[in-house]
Amino acid sequence: MNEHAGVFVPPYDLIMAEIGAEVSREDEIIGVPRRLLDFLLKSLLEVVDFDEYQYLECNSDVAEAVEQGKFESGYDHFIRVGYFEGRTGWVPVDDEWYMARNPDVARAVVAQEVDSASAQYRSSGIREWRAPNPAVLDAVDEWRNVLGVAVTGRYRRSSAAMLGMSGVRSTRSSSRGKG
């Protein structure tokens, strides 16, 4: 048994049959019920790397709810509702690696235009498809490409081609809470 022994995924053809899609058509656009999509995302979230400390630091109301016993942990909140509310701070950011990979962020940190590389990632880097650490670099590119194909029918540029192309949004005013 591995660490994900409790994770179950039904056979692909069974899933496709249940939602009325053809297994043989890779380019087919299918509608997925919201309940199924949420379930699939929750299943994935159960195995993602999660930064409990940063999540609670970024979401003081969640820290308070955990202290009051409303949630077992920040992770529990994140899986149940936080992800779907768009909460930030859950992704572990390797600040040194992130600044080396994103020189515009490094310049903004040095110029004190942003509080930190982590803060920049939370405020805009995640929406610019920047990878927060080397462990998820390929996964970020895969998600961007898959979602790009789903929406436009073509693959988007790799993160290497995107380097330095997006602006750095200031986070000096606030690096806490949603967003």
Encode pLDDT of 149-174 as tens digits: 455 555 454 444 444 434 444 444 43
* Average pLDDT value for residue range 63-68: 98
Confidence check: pLDDT of 97 > 50 = yes
Residue with tokens 């992770």: 75
Beta carbons of 119 and 171 less than 8 angstroms apart: yes
In single-letter form, the type of residue at position 114 comes to V
Q: Quote the CA–CA distance of 177 and 131 in Å, as a whole number.
A: 21
Quick one: pLDDT band at residue 78, thresholds 50, 70, 90? very high
Q: Could you tell me the end-to-end alpha-carbon distance of the chain, in angstroms, rounded to an integer?
A: 38
Beta carbons of 143 and 154 less than 8 angstroms apart: no
Give the whole-number percent of the chain exceeding pLDDT 90.
47
DSSP per position, 108-175: HHHTTSSS-HHHHIIIIIGGGT--SSGGGHHHHHHHHHHHHHHHHSSPPPPHHHHTT-SPPPP-SS--
Q: Quote the CA–CA distance of 143 and 159 in Å, as a whole number.
A: 11
108-159 pLDDT, tens per residue? Answer: 999 999 999 999 999 999 988 899 999 999 988 888 888 774 555 554 544 4
The pTM assigned to this predicted structure is 0.71
Quick one: pLDDT band at residue 178, thresholds 50, 70, 90? very low
16-63 pLDDT, tens per residue? Answer: 787 777 767 667 777 888 899 899 999 989 888 899 999 999 999 999
The CA–CA distances, whole Å, from 134 to 97, 118, 131, 157 equal 7, 14, 7, 18
Confidence check: pLDDT of 13 > 90 = no
Q: Quote the CA–CA distance of 55 and 28 in Å, as a whole number.
A: 37
